[in-house]
Structure 1
Amino acid sequence: MTRDEDVVGQRERLLAEAVRLREGGRREEARERLVALCEQFPSDAEVAYQTAWVHDALGLEAEAVPHYVRAVESAGLSPDDRRGALLGLGSTYRVLGRYPEAVAVLSDAVAEFPDDAALKTFLAMALYNTGRAHDAMEILLTLLATTSQDPGLAVYRPAIEHYAKDLDTTV
């Protein structure tokens, strides 16, 4: 085994262990290990994403941001992890009151993952926070009309879709 293979194997083991700790509720211990991994692998997108996630889970949103940014700006995330990192970054910006940044990140994420309802929902919240309630309602009404399994709503789907496009329409 080469030194590089040994380092990669060690990274995999340590990362998996830290994720297990986070998932098991031992978030502070996971955070400590992930911060150490970030120092060892500063350009690793997956390590950055997991580090951001654990900071978010601990309510340390401001500390999560640079890790999310590094994760989404680096190559190496699976599409699902990239989607999660974009959602995490946009949501974290929103929680921190950085609404224009949240809208920018989440708008780009929705363009990249157009079928993702969670991204659209978080985008709608950020749009609302920027005073763009009409745009937020359009997204949410469209999402409701196209994803709801409620039979009572299904009857009104055409009307909901119509009003989603122009909520100010009156008769």
Structure 2
Amino acid sequence: MSNLEQAVRWRQEGKVQEAIELLQEITVQEPENANVWYQLAWAHDSLGLEREAVPHYEKALSLGLSDEDRAGAILGLGSTYRTLGQYEQAKVWFETGMKEFPAYREFEVFYAMVLYNLGEHAQAMQRLLVQLADTSSDKRINDYNRAIRYYADQLDRVWE
């Protein structure tokens, strides 16, 4: 098992501080390894150390990641910016994620959260309602799928 695999295992087992220490050692040995920076960011996020996670996400993204890891890093960075109250930066990253990974629905959901934070409540609700209509396996929700979609962008409309 490589040191990186060990660090990931430790993070998954809840030994996050140990994982961070090992990952920091690996970054010294392999400073151009994007996966190490991504895992370091993830480990910091796991401990609620969002401010410390940001530069690690940015470094990982600048070095290049596989598609799956890039999607995770973009979502992680956007979510971290959102929790830090840096909503415009979060919005940009979620938009990047939606553009690069249009099939990854989680970006729409997190984007809706940041729209809410920015006071764009109608657009946030619209996006969430569409995701609900698209993904629900609940029979009763599916029975009203057309109505949910129809009203999703007309939440403020009053019919006379």
Tell me if TM exceeds 0.5. yes
The one-letter code sitting in structure 1 at the alignment partner of 2:81 is Y
AA matched with 2:34? A
- Within 5 Å, give how 1:6-25 maps onto structure 2: 13-25=2-14
- The number of equivalent residue pairs is 159
Which residue does the alignment assign to 1:42?
31
5+ residue gaps, structure 2, are none
Counterpart selection for 1:152 from 133, 140, 149: 140
Tell me what 2:50 maps to. 61
Residue identity in the other structure for 2:146: P
Q: How far apart in 1 are the matches of 2:101 and 2:79?
A: 16
1:30 counterpart = 2:19? yes
Instruction: Name the SS for the 1:131 alignment partner.
Output: coil
**TM-score scaled by length of structure 2:** 0.94
Q: Distance in 2 between matches of 1:49 and 1:125?
A: 23
- The 5-angstrom pairing of residues 22-171 of structure 1 reads 22-75=11-64, 77-171=65-159
Shift of 1:37: 1.3
Gaps of 5+ in 1: 1-11
Identical columns (%) = 47
Deviation at 1:169, TM superposition (A): 2.4
List per-residue Cα deviations over 1:31-63 (Å, max 9, x = no partner). 011112122222221111000000000111100
Calculate the TM-score normalised by the size of structure 1: 0.88
TM-superposed CA distance for 1:110, in Å, is 1.1
